[in-house]
Structures are given as C-alpha cells and as structure tokens.
Amino acid sequence: MARQVQLIAYPDGEIGPEHFRTVEVAIPAPASGEVLVRNLYTSVDPALRLRTRRASPSGYFSAFPLNAPMDGIMCVGEVVESRADAFAAGDLVTHAWGWRDLALVPADQPSLSGVGTLTRVDASLGPPEKFLGPLGNMGLTAYVGLIDAAELRDGDVVWISAAAGAVGSLAVQIAKLRGHRVIASAGSVEKVRFLRDELGADAAFDYHDGPVLDQLRAAAPDGIDVYFDNVGGDHLGAALATLRRWGRVAMCGSVSDYDRSEPQPGPTNLFQIVANDLTVRGFRASSHLDRLVDSSRELGQWLADGRLHYRETIVDGLEHAPDALVRMLAGDTVGKTLVRI
Ligand SMILES: NC(=O)c1ccc[n+]([C@@H]2O[C@H](COP(=O)([O-])OP(=O)(O)OC[C@H]3O[C@@H](n4cnc5c(N)ncnc54)[C@H](OP(=O)(O)O)[C@@H]3O)[C@@H](O)[C@H]2O)c1
C-alpha cells in the first residue's frame, strides 16, 4: 500500500488542512517503462495555492482535481524498482509525482514543463533535499530571474522581496556574491536578522513595520535598478516608484495574491514604467530548463565552498504537507519548506 495526500475541496477563503485528506491506495508493481520511487522529500510551494483553486490562472499549470493524487509537485527519492532502461534500484531521482510516499513514475513522461520529468541526479553533489533547492528548480528560478529576466548588470542596486524564502534567499546571495548592493525584505524581525547576518544583505526590512515604499526609500535613497518580485501588490508599486531609469523588474511570483478570495488592486503607478524606460518581465523557470546546468554549477560550487547558505524548514510526515503549506503562506517558515516522508 502507498499513501498520498488529496485535495477534497476548493477553499473559498484561506486554505487549511480541512481541504485535504491522506489516503492509502494499492500500488501495483512497475509496468514496462515505469519506475517505483520511494520519496524522501516533497516540495511545498506557494504556487500550489493557485492550483488549489477551481481554475488556476490561464496559461499556468492546471488546478488539482478533487479526490485524486496531487501530481505536479516536485519530489526527490530513491528508485526501489525499475523497469525503465535508464534507471536502476538505488538511483537518486527527482520527479513531480508528489505528495505521496511511493510513486510509480513513467520514465519518459514529461511533467511540469520538463522540470518534473524523472531525472537521475548526482548524489555526490549534495544531500537529497538540496535537489529541491539550490541544485534544482529553486536555484534555477533565482538564477534565471536575476541573470536572464532582470539582465543583472554591473553596479545594479537590487531589491528582493520574500527574501528569506526558498527563491528569495538564493536570489539575495547570487546578487551579493556577484558584487551587488542588495536590499531584502521579509515578514519578521528574525527574518530581517537572517537576511542581514546570515545572507549578507546590505539592508533589510520587515514589510509589516510601515509602508513598503517608505522603508524601501530609506534603504535605497538613490533608487534601485532591479526588483526581483516574489510578492506583487504594494511591493510592486513601491518598486515602480523607486526604480531608476532603465530599471528592470523580474516578475517571479505574486504571493500576496495567492490565498485571497478576491484579487487585490494592482499598482496605480504603472506610468512609471513609461516614465523611466523600465522593463517588467515575467518568467517561469520551467521555460528556461537549458539554464539548469549553469545555475546548478554556480550554486553547487558556492554550496561546496561554504559560501552559499541554504536554510530549510522541514516538516516531518506526509500527512503534514497541508499544514506545511499553510505555515509557509503565513510566513511561518524560513528558507525552503519541505516535507520529509
Ligand atoms: N516564476 C517561477 O518559475 C517560480 C518558481 C518558484 C517560485 N516562484 C514564486 O516565487 C515566490 C517565492 O516562492 P518560494 O517557493 O521561494 O516561497 P517562500 O518565499 O519560501 O514562501 C513564501 C513566503 O512569502 C511570504 N509572503 C506570504 N504572504 C505575503 C504577503 N502578503 N506579502 C509579502 N510576503 C508574503 C511569506 O514570508 P514572509 O514572512 O516574508 O511574509 C512566505 O513564507 C512565489 O511568488 C512563488 O510563486 C516562481
């Protein structure tokens, strides 16, 4: 038997554990071309909240069906049995048949636009959980957002929001290690301390401590050149008001919108994009899979050198995955939120 978490109702307001259940299901032996994987860790991502709506945003990964396995969530695990030529028992793999303890994975079936297709990873590069962080999609997201979407240039002053989280904490360090002045924001005193003392941000603030625009201006009196947006809403408005001429926004996500029943109003100062020749560019890491080699090489080297700090908040037990999602959306986790199975 295997266990899996299923969504049982689409929330009308905030999401809670009551919208999920954990069930036991029979699991057959692998058929030809399939691999049986024992998951070690599964990922908890803010965007899952977009997929626990009746309809996910147009163009994005589809909503989870009710009372069915939640496929399309990243996992790292160990192959137990393989009937696919390229995999053998004992291989460490990533895939996206997530929020289950045992997964029967079709080896050649693309998933999550390729990010979640079954892939053997080099276990010598780091512990398994790092492949759901700097050595995987989180590293790729931070890297592509800064280097490709924001076209990071020498001397840029960079602001990163939700900076104590999985993507943000990597973006802060990539920018710092490349020599930039970095302003970081997050949601608590402890996170601000983490950003300054552990990640090396030049300035950091708690967005609860006053209007974001005021705090950003105090941290960057001469303005910013790049905004790495994980939050949207008032944060994006503050960035548009602060970006200098030819500034760039990498739109990574909009987490302040995800767990609301009604969308919040967008920024009212969009004309700043015209006034200052700004570029605002959205990106999906999965559309830049060819960059995974570069991001993993750079971040993997820094990780091995001890120059990259990567915290995780690890919640034990598959059945606690919904609690982990709720905690992460509420800001009650630091670094990458993972469930250990
Ligand atoms: N484009 C892509 O390919 C891609 C890939 C992965 C992730 N993302 C996006 O990247 C962003 C960060 O994802 P992540 O996995 O690294 O998550 P995370 O930052 O580890 O967790 C989300 C954090 O967002 C903060 N937050 C929640 N509500 C907020 C609000 N109203 N205002 C400001 N901050 C709020 C919370 O921390 P605080 O304590 O700081 O509030 C929370 O812990 C998300 O928007 C996600 O959708 C995009």
Segment 198-217 mean pLDDT = 98
Q: Is the CB of 255 under 6 A from ligand 1?
A: yes
Tens of pLDDT along 182-195? 999 999 999 999 99
Which pLDDT tens digit goes with each residue over 213-234? 999 999 999 999 999 999 999 9
Asked whether 53 and 10 are in contact (CB, 8 A), the reply is: yes
Distance 26 CA to ligand 1 centre (A): 35
Give, for ligand 1, the residue of 167, 172, 193 to mutate: max count of ligand atoms closer than 8 Å to Cβ. Answer: 167
Ligand 1 in reach of 186 Cβ (< 6 A): yes
Is-above-0.95 flag for pTM? yes
Is residue 264 very low, low, confident or very high in pLDDT (cuts 50, 70, 90)? confident
> Which DSSP string corresponds to 148-177?
IIS---TT-EEEESSTTBHHHHHHHHHHHH
Is the distance from the beta carbon of residue 181 to the nearest atom of ligand 1 less than 6 Å? no
For ligand 1, the distance from its centroid to the CA atom of residue 270, given in whole angstroms, is: 22
pLDDT of residue 112: 94
210: left (phi over 0), alpha (psi -120 to 50) or beta: left
Q: What is the Cα 168 distance to its own chain's centre?
A: 8
Q: What is the pLDDT of residue 213?
A: 98
Q: Other C-beta atoms within 10 Å of 65: how many?
A: 11
- At 263 the pLDDT is 83
Ligand 1 centroid from CA 258, angstroms: 10
Integer Cα distance of 52 and 142 in angstroms = 24
Ligand 1 contact, 331 CB (< 6 A): yes
For the chain, give the mean pLDDT.
97
111 Cβ inside 6 Å of ligand 1: no
Strands 92-95 and 157-160: unpaired
Could you give the percent of the chain with pLDDT greater than 90? 97
Quick check: CB of 10 below 6 Å from ligand 1?
no
CA of 46 relative to ligand 1 center, distance in Å: 6
- pLDDT interval class at 265 (50, 70, 90): confident
Query: Mean pLDDT over residues 92-111, rounded?
Result: 96
Q: Indicate if ligand 1 lies below 6 Å from the C-beta of 242.
A: no
The Cβ of residue 290 has, within 10 Å, a number of other Cβ atoms equal to 9
Mean pLDDT, to the nearest integer, of 151-178? 98
Q: Which segment of 71-75, 111-115, 255-259, 261-265 scores lowest on mean pLDDT?
A: 261-265
**pLDDT of the residue at 261:** 81
> Could you give the CA distance from residue 244 to residue 272 in angstroms, rounded to a whole number?
10
- Per-residue pLDDT reduced to its tens digit, 53-84: 999 999 999 999 999 999 999 999 999 999 99
List the structure tokens of 89: 């028992």
**Exposure b/e, 76-99, CB count within 10 A at least 16 = b:** bbbbeebebeebeeebbbbbbbbb
The residue whose CB lies within 8 Å of the most ligand 1 atoms, and thus the one to mutate among 230, 295, 313, 325, is 230
* Single-letter amino acid code for the residue at 138: M
Confirm if 335 and 129 have CB atoms less than 8 A apart: no
**Phi and psi angles of residue 332, each rounded to the nearest 5 degrees, phi first:** -95, 20
Distance 336 CA to ligand 1 centre (A): 10
